[in-house]
């Protein structure tokens, strides 16, 4: 009696057994990289309603981050500056610039400028700016060289693994609190040792248990 299937089909189980794990590893690797924050989030750069250049303000003019984000030392969230902060300068500086049309309209109407959030965490995760700034974690550690960004983008993944990497070895990322907004300060190059800083008042013991960051 003739066989229903051709002889070569006998090799199919062997091919599945040998190729299946390779395909599975490939799929896992694809998902691990292309579905991770390092690929999906890093580089996120939305267009803002006002073309605010951090390169100009934080870089060339040397404005301190805390002038605009004035709650960063005392609150969980770094405040987005209200229109009044912008107009504190621009009521006199380039007050008729067409680039500031939305700012002037906001001032006249009382309706805030609808800035687009760049750095976002899941709702089930919490991050307190005041705690991190208070122990000397520089703005650049999470936000990158904002002073070199015309349009701010997300420079780091802000993933759980990335956060835990810092929590488990925080010392290379710490600096004197006075240098927290200094984008060019390198604590490693400067040889800064937090344990030998007489001005440091808080012991650095970042938690790495789930309840520290998750509700």
pLDDT in tens, 79-128: 999 999 999 999 999 999 999 999 999 999 999 999 999 999 988 999 99
Does a structural domain hold residue 166? yes
Does a structural domain hold residue 10? no
Residue 31 DSSP one-character state: H
Paired tokens of 170: 């925080």
**Residues 177-195: pLDDT tens digits?**
899 999 999 999 999 999 8
**Domain interval for residue 197:** 54-59+119-212
Contact 112, 92 (CB under 8 A): no
Number of H helices, E strands in the chain: 9, 0
Q: How many structural domains is the chain composed of?
A: 1
Contact 127, 214 (CB under 8 A): no
| CA-closest candidate to residue 84, choices 58, 106, 59 | 106
For 195, counting Cβ atoms within 10 Å of its Cβ (0-12 exposed, 13-18 middle, 19+ buried), the class is exposed
Does a structural domain hold residue 13? no
């Amino acid at each position: 009696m003739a066989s229903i299937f051709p002889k070569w089909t006998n090799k199919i189980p062997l091919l599945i057994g040998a190729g299946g794990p390779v395909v599975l590893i490939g799929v896992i690797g694809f998902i691990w990289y292309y579905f991770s924050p390092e690929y999906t989030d890093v580089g996120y750069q939305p267009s803002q309603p006002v073309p605010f250049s951090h390169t100009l303000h934080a870089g060339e003019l040397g404005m301190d981050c805390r002038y605009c984000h004035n709650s960063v030392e005392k609150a969980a969230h770094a405040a987005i500056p209200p229109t009044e902060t912008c107009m504190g300068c621009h009521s006199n500086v380039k007050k008729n610039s067409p680039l500031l049309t939305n700012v002037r309209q906001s001032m006249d109407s009382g309706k805030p400028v609808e800035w687009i959030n760049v750095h976002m965490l899941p709702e089930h995760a919490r991050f307190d700016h005041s705690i991190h700034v208070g122990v000397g974690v520089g703005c650049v550690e999470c936000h990158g060289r904002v002073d070199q960004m015309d349009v701010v983008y997300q420079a780091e993944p802000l993933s759980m693994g990335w956060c835990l990497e810092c929590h488990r070895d925080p010392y290379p990322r710490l600096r004197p609190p006075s240098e927290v907004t200094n984008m060019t300060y390198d604590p490693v190059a400067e040889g800064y040792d937090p344990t030998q800083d007489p001005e440091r008042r808080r012991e650095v013991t970042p938690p790495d248990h789930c309840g520290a960051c998750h509700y």
